[in-house]
Structure 1
Amino acid sequence: MSEPDGEHLGPYRLLSPLGSGGFGEVHLALDPEGRTVAVKVLHPHVAADASALTRLEREVETMRLVEGPYVAEVLDASMSGERPYLVTRYVQGRPLSVVPVPVTDLRRLAKGLAQALTAIHDAGVVHRDLKPANVMMAEGEPVVIDFGIASALDSLSVTASGAVVGTPGYLAPEVLEGQETGAPADVFSFAATLAYAATGRQPYGTGPLSAIAYRVVHHEPDLEGVPAWLEPLLRECLLRDPAARPTAAQICARLGVDTPSRGRHGVRGLSGTARRPTPSAMGAAGPAGPEPFPGALGPEPGAFLEAGGPSGGLGGVFAGGRRVEPTQGHADLHDLSTREWRPGRPTTDEARARHREKIRRRWVIGSGIFVALLAAAARTPLPEASLLLLASYSLIVVGDAAVALLSRGLFRIRRMVTDLSSVAGVVALWLVLSTLFSPFTLALFAGTALVVGVVFLLNA
């Protein structure tokens, strides 16, 4: 099911696989404007299930209403064709399941998760698989991924017969017992996730999946080490009776944060073909499908990219906290911007244009200083050579300014100002240097500048 690097799915260019979960394969991709997104291509056995696909299409309509800084929004979707897919915001960071725990800023994490859960529930969506692997830590802020996918695809034809979609230890007792579930189940998972972040331990221990599930239903959680300000709230959220648990909005109030208001960028309906994501929500996401329990356990889905790899760009690929070797195509991604897109942040083409303009500006200024040194050194012994150097530099730079005037580049005005200012600056520097220093001293300066420039180029 892997897509070759550079292939397209709808309007999206698939760059490289990030990982594979129970329901789909996640790709790092570019949207038509060059922004990074995450595209989850559904597995063939999921795409072949008409009822599951219809249910997912209906749920996606609601999932796309969920917006906020602490959720990875669903940006686009196409449930038609041979390869149905979802497009989400790509979040660059690391899952809570692999960051150092206990978390240093636990209050910040708790508030962010509470606001994420409120945004999800206000839209009428139930996550059903909230756990540390589905909480991305991006610059210290939590971002919840994969909301609604588990409940949308929880059908016998998609999962193993009798299986429960989710992760033991973070699933509510009513989910494990096969009862009707809703938002209170997410509150239970929220508390279990925070307990792990606060102590570094799963609140219901480790071991066989059946043993963990038994402890969830019949035992009290282990909250030893949870700060005093948080423990009472977690105990309420982990109550066996769903009706006794607080709501997400009540959790926000208990933590002293405002309930996030529901915002929309307009109706984003499904038409059977992929639609462009709205710019205000575009950027990054790292979705991954939930794992079935206790049926056949596939690869852990929480795939993501670790920033700051050996090359200083994209690092290794992780799946469920386990490092795997980068797949073919990651070596070509080091020049791509994979930072989350936010309003005001340049697109990939704009970033490249800015980089080219920066390099050009450095060359113009650097070469101008060198020419001024040489021309000043030659002013007394070789006045004609001095004037020739100045004239040649001025003609070249003024010509570049004329080209900028006729072009439609993003930085043509800035380019013209830089060029004309450089010419005036070189002439002024030539006059000052030739007046204050002897030709021999200036020649030494010019030689030193030449050596430094060559060394810099070789290092670059």
Structure 2
Amino acid sequence: MVVPPDVERLGPYRLLSPIGAGGFGAVYIALDPQGHTVAVKVLHPPVAADSAAIARLAREVEVMRRVRGKHVAEVLDAELSGERPYLVTRYVQGRPLHAVVTDDGPITGDALARLARGLAAALASIHGAGVVHRDLKPANVILADGEPIVIDFGVAAALDSPSVTASGAVLGTPGYLAPEVISTGVSGPEADVFSFAATLAFAATGRQPYGTGPATAVAYRVVHEEPDLGGVPEWLAPLLRECMARDPAARPTAEQLCARLGASVPPPAPPVDAVRDTAVADIPPVQGVHGMATRALVAESPRPGLSPEDARARHAAKVRTRWVIGSGAITALTAAAAQEHLPEVSLLVLAVYACAVVADAGVALFRRGGPQRARLAVDVGSVIGTVAAWFALSVFFSTFTLVLALGTVLAVLLVIVVSS
């Protein structure tokens, strides 16, 4: 799916591709001005047209930005006054919990305990900042390398208005909404604790705790019947049953959940002013399911304290070093393959490479600064290493093996270039 041209850029953010959509908006993976990977949620036009809901969300954003923690996707920025209002959050590379359970089956053992502790810590971070999620469910939990990351906190509560609901946006999901939310519309931290338990029950069993069917039927069961916790491990079932009590006052708090599950209670949320200008670079990347960091689409992220010019120079130096070393390896392999039958070609290849690198080293000698000294060291080391590799390859490998290896390397490089 290609990003439409008219939304390729929103403010300072460059949209790369859609990664999902929900009742409130479409989510895109994007790059910020410094090249960090972020997630941008663009609100749907009917939602954006509700000025009262947008004004309420704008007030809540500053509070939502106070939420910080390993298990939440922090709100980094927002622009809610234009024609296309949007929220910017940390990008989390992973799979939604509902997809993991649907595709791979229920979560068990240590993985389930890890999920429970992470969700409890996430709720403690959210509630500690004075925010209520209101829509905690398996679709709003991303599993990244086994760790749960909660997304979309505070959005549903802020956008709760009749016009938004009439537009088709669903404020909460039956089966995960607490009884008091269904009956009275009142939503507090206790409602999130109920949703926490329902989400864990689904993860542990692969079933909806209140069954399936029409939303009204599921909502009726939530209000009048007990949840189906069959199959939930014995160490977890009593806690979930307590969290799903009909009386909100009978449910434990998020901090109590952390204590009972052995999770670390996050530190108190910082004041709003302390996070207003927080840079994306200050937020640690979360490892994805394939071992890639959340900034994997960025060639090189500027480090805190570096100017854009310094960051670009550092990135250029890294790219150049890789090219020098990589071309040296190919040169050594080519020269070794030609050594037996074309010794003159072998020496010519080595000489051309050495002259090119030595000339570059000569340029570095006339420049000042630590990076130039490092550049000189790389040049000299590459020449020595290339000659040593050529000698070793010529001695220990046959010409046929070297030609085969060279052909393989060149074929791989060609595939990479064509794919790019």
TM over 0.5: yes
Pick from 311, 314, 321: which aligns with 1:357?
Answer: 321
User: C-alpha displacement at 1:172, in angstroms?
Assistant: 0.3
Q: What is the SS of the residue equivalent to 2:259?
A: helix
Shift of 1:401: 2.5
The separation in 2 between residues aligned to 1:427 and 1:163, in whole angstroms, is 66
Tell me the CA shift for residue 258 of structure 1. 2.5
Q: Secondary structure at the match of 1:159?
A: helix
2: CA distance between counterparts of 1:356 and 1:265? 43
Amino acid corresponding to residue 365 of structure 1 in structure 2: A
Residues 72-120 of structure 1, C-alpha deviations (whole Å, 9 max, x = no match): 0000011212121110111111111011231131100000000000000
For the 8 Å contact 1:12–1:30, the answer to whether it is kept is: yes
Give the distance between the partners of 1:65 and 1:429, measured in 2 at CA: 55
Q: How does 1:28-427 map to 2 (within 5 A)?
A: 28-99=29-100, 100-104=104-108, 105-160=111-166, 165-264=171-270, 267=273, 277-281=279-283, 337=297, 354=318, 357-368=321-332, 370-371=334-335, 391-403=351-363, 413-425=373-385
Structure 2 vs 1, CA of residues 64 and 389 (structure 1 numbering), >3 Å: closer, same or farther? closer
Cα distance, 1:177–1:451 mapped onto 2, change above 3 Å: same
1:449 counterpart residue number = 402
> What is the Cα deviation at residue 145 of structure 1?
0.4
Residue 421 of structure 1 aligns with an amino acid whose one-letter code is G
Which residue identity does 1:67 align to in structure 2? R
Give the Å deviation of 1:180: 2.3
Letter in 2 for 1:362: G
| Corresponding letter in the other structure for 1:120 | I
Note the C-alpha offset of 1:406. 6.4
1:51, distance to aligned residue in structure 2 (A): 1.2
TM-score (structure 1 length as normaliser): 0.75
Post-superposition CA distance 1:218-250 (Å, at most 9, x none): 001111111111111101100000011110001
Q: Secondary structure at the match of 2:27?
A: strand
**1:457 partner amino acid:** L
SS at the partner of 2:198?
helix
Q: Aligned partners of 2:240 and 2:225: how far apart in 1?
A: 15
Deviation at 1:217, TM superposition (A): 0.4
Quote the residue 1:303 is aligned against.
Answer: none
Query: Is the contact between residue 97 and residue 139 of structure 2 (CA under 8 Å) also seen in structure 1?
Result: yes
Paired amino acid for 1:102: P
Q: 1:153 and 1:160, CA in 2 relative to 1: closer, same or farther beyond 3 A?
A: same
Q: In the aligned structure 1, how far is the partner of 2:57 from the partner of 2:39? A: 18
Which one has a larger percent helix, Structure 1 or Structure 2? 2
How far off its partner does 1:393 sit?
4.0
Equivalent-residue separation in structure 1 for 2:328 and 2:178 (angstroms):
64
Distance in 2 (CA, whole Å) between partners of 1:108 and 1:153 is 31
Hey, what's the Cα distance between the residues in 2 that align with 1:183 and 1:29?
32
**Structure 1 residue 445: Cα displacement:** 4.0
CA contact (8 A) 1:92 1:338 kept: no
Alignment deviations for residues 261-320 of structure 1 (CA, whole Å, 9 cap, x no partner): 1354972687xxxx78442127689xxxxxxxxxxxxxxxxxxxx977xxx99xxxxxxx
Gaps of 5+ in 1: 286-305, 314-334
Q: Secondary structure at the match of 2:39?
A: strand
Look up the equivalent residue of 1:195 and give its one-letter code. Answer: A
CA offset at residue 36 of structure 1?
1.1
Q: Tell me: higher relative CO, structure 1 or 2? Use CA pairs within 8 A at least 6 residues apart.
A: 1
TM-aligned CA deviation for residue 49 of structure 1: 1.9
Task: Tell me the CA shift for residue 50 of structure 1.
Answer: 1.8
Aligned to 1:322: none
Amino acid at match of 2:406: G
Contact 1:37-1:282 within 8 A present in 2 as well: no
TM-score (norm 2): 0.82
One-letter code of the match for 1:358? R
- Alpha carbons of 1:405 and 1:249: their partners in 2 closer, same or farther (altered >3 Å)? farther
**Cα distance 1:34–1:444, how it changes in 2: closer, same or farther (>3 A)?**
closer
Alpha-carbon distance between aligned partners in 1 of 2:274 and 2:406, rounded to the nearest angstrom: 54
Read off the aligned partner of 1:280 and give its amino acid letter.
D
Deviations 1:414-435, CA, capped at 9 Å, x for gaps:
54323212433456678x77xx
Note closer, same or farther for the CA distance 1:195–1:149 as it changes in structure 2 (3 Å cut).
same
| Closer/same/farther in 2, CA of residues 368 and 200 from structure 1, 3 Å limit | same
- Partner Cα separation in structure 1 for residue 302 and residue 93 of structure 2: 13
SS at match of 2:266: coil
Q: SS at the partner of 1:424?
A: helix
Cα deviation, residue 405, structure 1: 5.5
Cα separation, partners in 2 of 1:372 and 1:12, compared to 1, 3 Å? same
In 2 relative to 1, CA 168–455 (structure 1 residues): closer, same or farther, beyond 3 Å?
same
| AA of the residue aligned to 2:105 | V
Equivalent residues of 2:29, 2:40 under 8 A apart? yes
RMSD: 4.0
Structure 2, gaps ≥5 residues long:
414-420
Give the partner amino acid of 2:88. V
Distance 1:15 1:408 in 2: 39
Counterpart code for 1:119 = S
Distance in 2 of aligned mates of 1:162 and 1:18: 20
- Closer, same or farther: CA 219–372 of 1 in aligned 2, 3 Å: closer
